[in-house]
């Protein structure tokens, strides 16, 4: 502990967050923990640092040190209330300092030394805060005891109440207790109460029963009952509960649209997307490496050679020339050299190794092919595929992440760092089903697998103690075939290099040639939709087909069956069915549990926690005030991300049983690899050649949606820029415009949810009501058509232009659903505000559409409000406006 020193500094790098600035200035070897503080002066940002004692002067020489917490100046910490005096101002600043440390502790991405430093700093801050609060509250509380609560003037009552809320906010159990007002947790209710008390129109008399109970030192049960009563009464009516018979929405990185994908935004969503990450899964090595022919013998032979001679490569002390400091550059050089040595020795001993594979070690150079710059520490690549030594994510076969400290092996930040790289690899390689990788933290190595459910990892091993394991793992990565590396062997390749699939349709064999990649959803866990333009081999007309692969929850109805049903019922302007199947790889169904993860049991993982039983209602959990009171007196520690994730909703159920009826562990998910072929092809609506063409396509797609709804009883469920297609290709027999993607389609008469863990929609286009938890109906999807047009007009400046990123709307990709609902309501609720928004943000190309979008707003949001009742007349009124817009001379110009 004494090796870490406290330093508070201003970060003065205008374009870099503190974490990136530390790395950029090569201070990451001495700065162990960064605690960002909610204080900014211009572009300067304040942060507390845990610094190795030998590195303090280096840090002070680079950054401006601060001896105290700023309370004034430009951009001071935002205070929850106006300070009554300097002491109260210190109290509020100290509270925010405490909260910053609590939030940092909750991230759990540091080693034990860093945790100890944070906890001791937090204890010191809390002690100072207690003393400050006692100096303020003591006289006031004594004043309250000396007088009857009812006789205290309102201003002092308000001060008493604010002091009490300050105490409530510090209770560790509030973040885990359910809200009484449908917020995130009980802490959200308390924070809302704080702002309510500070307002001028708050009825202070509501607090008298609670304050009396506190001043009279009543029992915990009585005090908590008064607190909960105040929280319920003092907050506005709650938003509607999410409908219990529809599948919940999930937030994944594949839902981003027109985003710069900055790390600060992506990481939070990626953490939610990955969910439970299981480490120490028994049998991991055997599952992924035992099938490599001759690996066990090759590994033993090569390792035996490493131990021979007068100056052996491996001794009881570990590997020769291993850099004891384990600094990144030194380890990279060591690893690159040794892997090549191991490969050469294997070849010399007569074992087959893919000679083109080599170690990639260019951590300072971003790899090409990602939206934002991403740099990979180390990996194994196909060297023969690179041109002029320029590598991109499509070359990466195995991912690697290096850390100098062995304790970082068990830190979730290390896992997510590798996860960011896995997302890039799985996105860039269109036939990749899963990705393998490793972390090397000091000499501690762990093997990893990322797939469409999340990630699992082996137990760690010390490469200097278990040299044979290291040799076998590295040779395994060099010798794996494509299927073992995670590529889809159901997709073949001709001698000319053309990809194809083979199907049996109507009893006849067909070969479908994949002409080009149309879409690859950028994510790790999720549906991971991939689409290729294709044609049937032997078809001289090359009539276009579209092949779509995706990973579906087994509980969901198959999209192929829904498409076949819609086609059979004569639905118009919706992609028409051609074929569907469940993909088989290695002769068995391609699912995550049985095929990709080889039947590994994650309930045996070292960090697995059985799901806690859920109470029958929120009320049952709230009324246990005695337990809550006891918890309030204890110091709590945040669970790690993996433990919190272990309480996620059920996913493995049968279609006919509810969660409570299922005997499966609800934390263990599965997805199945499905394939659908459709016989309609086009381009996304935002690429339409003209404004009129786009408006016509939008009108036609609404007609298609209505046809799907009325003829097949289906709600499409994910109206987005990528799912509205226009056909402007001469000779193409596809619909002129049409809807695609029934992955998330909902049968309107369904009596119960599918049982799937969740569904992912494109959040930027979600209806406000859905964001607030309403039951899905067709008016929600019609609202999504409105948001699609709104979004296109802001982000595209014509068919030939690239899309742009607009910060005001980019946040729609990242904020939680309740905040997004508020942002959307704030956009449309007032006609003048909406007009100024579109006039300020529509691109020049789409400016002629402003009056028509204003008209659509009146139809979709009557009087600026979301619709509470279904209205089938909206179909016709929206189409009429779009048809009229197509005749507008300004639109035609």
SS (H, E, C) 643-655: HHHCCCCCCCCCC
Categorize the per-residue pLDDT at 650 as very low, low, confident or very high, splitting at 50, 70 and 90: very low
pLDDT higher at 201 or 298? 298
pLDDT higher at 53 or 412? 53
Sequence-distant (6+) residues with CB within 8 A of 98 are: 122, 125, 126, 129, 170
Q: How many CA atoms lie within 13 A of 651 on its CB side?
A: 23
CA distance 672 to 582: 8
Categorize the per-residue pLDDT at 486 as very low, low, confident or very high, splitting at 50, 70 and 90: very high
pLDDT at position 27: 86
Categorize the per-residue pLDDT at 300 as very low, low, confident or very high, splitting at 50, 70 and 90: very high
Return the closest-CA partner of residue 104 out of 38, 55, 52, 150: 38
Work out the end-to-end distance of the chain between its first and last CA atoms, rounded to an integer number of angstroms: 71
Chain segment 772-791, per-residue pLDDT in tens: 888 889 999 999 999 999 99
pLDDT at position 375: 58
In this structure, what token pair is assigned to residue 735? 């619909």
Mean pLDDT across the stretch 265-283?
72
Chain segment 221-246, per-residue pLDDT in tens: 677 777 777 776 444 444 443 433 44
- Return the bridge partners of 724, or none: 739
Categorize the per-residue pLDDT at 518 as very low, low, confident or very high, splitting at 50, 70 and 90: very high
**Residue labelled with tokens 């380890």:** 331
Model-level pTM?
0.67
Chain segment 564-621, per-residue pLDDT in tens: 999 999 999 999 999 999 999 999 999 999 999 999 999 999 888 776 544 333 333 3
- β-pairing, 714-715 with 584-585? unpaired
Mean pLDDT across the stretch 846-870?
93
Chain segment 367-402, per-residue pLDDT in tens: 555 445 555 778 888 865 554 566 778 888 999 988
Q: Is the pLDDT of residue 172 over 60?
A: no
pLDDT higher at 419 or 565? 565
pLDDT at position 792: 94
What is the CB neighbour count within 10 angstroms for residue 602? Answer: 23
What is the CB neighbour count within 10 angstroms for residue 147? Answer: 13
List the domain boundaries for the chain: 4-233, 275-485, 492-588+672-892
Chain segment 93-106, per-residue pLDDT in tens: 777 788 888 888 87
Categorize the per-residue pLDDT at 886 as very low, low, confident or very high, splitting at 50, 70 and 90: very high
The dihedral region occupied by 506, where left means phi > 0, alpha psi between -120 and 50, and beta the remainder, is left
Categorize the per-residue pLDDT at 286 as very low, low, confident or very high, splitting at 50, 70 and 90: very high
Chain segment 667-714, per-residue pLDDT in tens: 578 999 999 999 999 999 999 999 999 999 999 999 999 999 999 999
pLDDT at position 551: 94
pLDDT at position 384: 57
Percent of the chain at pLDDT exceeding 90:
39
Determine phi and psi for 218, rounding to 5 degrees: -70, 175
- Return the bridge partners of 9, or none: 47, 65
Q: Is the pLDDT of residue 760 over 50?
A: no
Mean pLDDT across the stretch 623-646?
34
Q: Is the pLDDT of residue 636 over 80?
A: no
Categorize the per-residue pLDDT at 889 as very low, low, confident or very high, splitting at 50, 70 and 90: very high
Lowest mean pLDDT among 5-19, 43-57, 68-82: 68-82
Q: Is the pLDDT of residue 658 over 80?
A: no
DSSP 341-385: HHHHHHHHTT----TTEEEE--TTSPPBTSSS----SEEEEEGGG
Determine phi and psi for 496, rounding to 5 degrees: -90, 0
pLDDT at position 77: 41
pLDDT at position 634: 38
In contact, 70 and 41? CB cutoff 8 Å? yes
pLDDT at position 774: 87
421, containing H or E segment = helix 412-428
pLDDT at position 838: 94
CA distance 331 to 313: 16
Q: Is the pLDDT of residue 749 over 50?
A: yes
pLDDT at position 368: 54
Q: Is the pLDDT of residue 107 over 80?
A: no
pLDDT at position 857: 94
Q: What is the DSSP letter of 591?
A: B
pLDDT higher at 245 or 126? 126
CATH number (3.10.310.30, 2.40.50.140, 3.30.70.20, 3.90.1570.30) of 275-485 reads 3.90.1570.30
Lowest mean pLDDT among 184-188, 313-317, 807-811: 184-188
- Return the bridge partners of 277, or none: 455
Residue 99: exposure state from Cβ atoms within 10 A (0-12, 13-18, ≥19): middle
Angstrom distances, CA of residue 372 to CA of 376, 443, 762? 13, 31, 20
Structural fold of domain 492-588+672-892: Transferase(Phosphotransferase); domain 1 (1.10.510)
pLDDT at position 859: 94
Q: Is the pLDDT of residue 804 over 70?
A: yes
What is the CB neighbour count within 10 angstroms for residue 139? Answer: 10
CA distance 711 to 879: 19
pLDDT at position 138: 54
In this structure, what token pair is assigned to residue 656? 């006919």
Lowest mean pLDDT among 70-84, 479-493, 534-548, 851-865: 70-84
In contact, 253 and 270? CB cutoff 8 Å? yes
In contact, 886 and 695? CB cutoff 8 Å? yes
pLDDT at position 38: 78
pLDDT at position 635: 35
Mean pLDDT across the stretch 847-866?
94
In this structure, what token pair is assigned to residue 322? 């291993």
637 three-state secondary structure:
coil
Categorize the per-residue pLDDT at 71 as very low, low, confident or very high, splitting at 50, 70 and 90: very low
Q: Is the pLDDT of residue 534 over 90?
A: yes
Sequence-distant (6+) residues with CB within 8 A of 729 are: 681, 682
| Strands (DSSP E) found in 637-711 | 672-678, 683-684
pLDDT higher at 429 or 267? 429
C-alpha of 182 from chain center: 22
Helix H, strand E, coil C: the string for 225-274 is HHHHHHHHHCCCCCCCCCCCCCCCECCCHHHCCCCCCCHHHHHHHHHHHH
pLDDT at position 757: 46
pLDDT at position 291: 92
Sequence-distant (6+) residues with CB within 8 A of 842 are: 793, 794, 849, 850, 853
Q: Is the pLDDT of residue 522 over 60?
A: yes
In contact, 395 and 386? CB cutoff 8 Å? yes
């Amino acid at each position: 502990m004494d090796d870490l020193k406290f330093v508070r500094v201003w970060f003065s790098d205008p374009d870099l967050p503190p974490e990136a600035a530390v790395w950029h200035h090569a201070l990451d070897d001495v700065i162990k923990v960064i605690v960002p503080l909610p204080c900014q002066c211009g572009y300067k940002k304040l942060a507390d640092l845990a610094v190795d004692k030998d590195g303090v002067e280096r840090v002070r020489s680079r950054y401006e040190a601060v001896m105290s917490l700023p309370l004034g100046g430009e951009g001071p910490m935002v205070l929850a209330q106006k300070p009554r005096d300097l002491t109260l101002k210190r109290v509020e600043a100290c509270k925010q300092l405490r909260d910053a440390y609590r939030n940092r502790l909750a991230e759990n991405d540091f080693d034990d030394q860093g945790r100890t430093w944070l906890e001791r700093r937090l204890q010191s801050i809390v002690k100072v805060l207690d003393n400050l609060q006692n100096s303020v509250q003591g006289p006031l509380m004594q004043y309250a005891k000396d007088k009857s609560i009812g006789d205290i003037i309102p201003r002092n009552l308000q001060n008493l109440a604010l002091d009490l809320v300050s105490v409530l906010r510090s209770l560790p159990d509030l973040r885990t207790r359910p809200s009484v007002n449908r917020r995130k947790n009980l802490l959200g209710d308390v924070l809302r109460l704080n702002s309510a008390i500070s307002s001028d129109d708050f009825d202070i008399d509501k607090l008298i029963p609670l304050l009396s109970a506190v001043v009279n030192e009543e029992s915990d049960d009585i005090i908590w009952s008064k607190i909960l009563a105040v929280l319920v009464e003092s907050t506005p009516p709650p938003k509607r509960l999410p409908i219990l018979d529809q599948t919940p929405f999930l937030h994944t990185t594949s839902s981003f649209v027109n985003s710069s994908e900055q790390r600060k935004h992506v990481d939070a969503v990626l953490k939610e997307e990955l969910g439970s990450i299981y480490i120490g899964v028994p049998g991991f090595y055997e599952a992924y490496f035992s099938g490599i022919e001759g690996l066990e013998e090759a590994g033993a032979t090569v390792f035996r050679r490493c131990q021979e001679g007068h100056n052996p490569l491996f001794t009881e002390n570990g590997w020769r020339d291993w850099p004891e400091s384990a600094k990144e550059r030194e380890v990279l050089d060591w690893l690159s050299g040794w892997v090549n040595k191991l490969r050469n020795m294997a070849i010399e001993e007569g074992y087959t190794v893919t000679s083109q594979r080599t170690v990639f070690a260019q951590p300072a150079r971003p790899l090409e092919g990602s939206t934002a710059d991403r740099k990979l520490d180390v990996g194994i690549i196909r060297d023969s595929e690179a041109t002029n030594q320029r590598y991109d994510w499509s070359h990466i076969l195995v991912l690697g992440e290096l850390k100098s400290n062995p304790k970082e092996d068990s830190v979730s930040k290390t896992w997510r760092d590798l996860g960011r790289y896995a997302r890039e690899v799985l996105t860039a390689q269109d036939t990749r089903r899963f990705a393998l990788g490793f972390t090397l933290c000091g000499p501690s190595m762990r093997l990893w697998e990322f797939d469409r459910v999340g990630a699992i990892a082996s137990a760690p091993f010390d490469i200097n103690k278990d040299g044979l394991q290291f040799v076998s793992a590295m040779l395994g990565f060099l010798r794996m075939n494509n299927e073992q590396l995670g590529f889809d062997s159901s997709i073949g390749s001709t001698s000319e290099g053309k990809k194809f699939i083979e199907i049996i349709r109507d009893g006849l064999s067909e070969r479908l040639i994949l002409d080009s990649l149309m879409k690859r959803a950028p994510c790790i866990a999720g549906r991971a939709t991939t689409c290729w333009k294709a044609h049937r081999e032997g078809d001289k007309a090359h009539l276009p087909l579209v092949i779509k692969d995706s990973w579906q929850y087994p509980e969901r109805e198959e999209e192929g069956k829904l498409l076949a049903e819609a086609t059979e019922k004569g639905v118009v302007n919706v992609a028409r069915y051609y074929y569907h199947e469940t993909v088989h790889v290695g002769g068995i169904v391609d699912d995550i549990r049985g095929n990709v993860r080889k039947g590994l049991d994650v309930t045996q993982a070292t960090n697995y926690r059985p799901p806690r039983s859920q109470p029958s209602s929120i009320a049952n959990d709230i009324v246990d005030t005695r337990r809550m009171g006891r918890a309030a007196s204890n110091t709590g520690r945040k669970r790690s991300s993996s433990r919190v994730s272990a309480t996620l909703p059920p996913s493995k159920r049968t279609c006919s049983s509810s969660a409570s009826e299922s005997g499966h562990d609800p934390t263990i998910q599965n997805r199945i690899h499905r394939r659908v072929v459709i016989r309609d092809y086009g381009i996304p609506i935002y690429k339409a050649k003209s404004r009129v063409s786009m408006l016509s396509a939008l009108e036609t797609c609404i007609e298609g949606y209505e046809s799907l709804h009325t003829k097949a009883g289906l709600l499409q469920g994910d109206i987005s820029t990528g799912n509205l297609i226009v056909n402007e290709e001469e000779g193409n027999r596809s619909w002129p415009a049409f809807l695609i993607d029934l992955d998330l389609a909902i049968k309107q008469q369904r009596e119960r949810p599918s049982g799937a863990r969740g569904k992912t929609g494109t959040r930027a286009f979600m209806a406000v009501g859905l964001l607030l938890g309403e039951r899905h109906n067709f008016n929600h999807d019609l609202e999504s058509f409105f948001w699609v047009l709104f979004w296109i007009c802001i982000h595209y400046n014509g068919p030939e232009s690239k899309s742009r990123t607009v910060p005001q709307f980019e946040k729609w990709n990242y904020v939680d659903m309740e905040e997004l609902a508020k942002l959307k309501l704030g956009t449309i609720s007032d006609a003048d505000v909406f007009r100024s928004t579109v006039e300020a943000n529509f691109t020049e190309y789409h400016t002629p559409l402003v009056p028509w979008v204003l008209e659509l707003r009146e139809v979709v949001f009557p009087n600026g409000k979301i619709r509470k009742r279904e209205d089938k007349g909206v179909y016709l009124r929206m189409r009429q406006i779009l048809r009229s817009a197509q005749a507008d001379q300004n639109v035609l110009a």
